Amino acid sequence: MEGTKGLTRGYEKAGYQGAMGSAGEMSEEVAKVTAYVIPCNIVELHAYARNIERILERLEKGVEVRDLNMVCIDVIPLWGDLLRDEPHYQELL
């Protein structure tokens, strides 16, 4: 129920991008306290929210925990479009 409220609040503040940002933040909180959440899944949410700083943080986490999905980060169009000019993203590739 709290998740639905968080998505609604995010949507009310900033539309779809706000809702996805809220979903990413909620997923990060879940990952901290109760369960493992695949970093690339959180990256996807932050990508829809266009939150480059959070995307890069989660990609770093993906490298750290050896998320198998990291082998695909250079072929996901949304990520590439958002991050192509980011030096840190280029380092992660």
Low-confidence ranges of the chain (pLDDT < 50): 1
Q: Scanning the structure block, which residue is given the tokens 């250079």? A: 74
pLDDT digits (tens, 9 = 90+) for 32-56: 887 788 888 888 888 989 999 999 9
Q: Scanning the structure block, which residue is given the tokens 């995307």? A: 55
pLDDT at 52: 92
- Find the DSSP H helices in the chain: 2-33, 39-48, 52-65, 77-83, 87-92
The number of folded domains in the chain is: 1
pLDDT at 3: 63
Which domain does 33 fall in, by range? 2-92
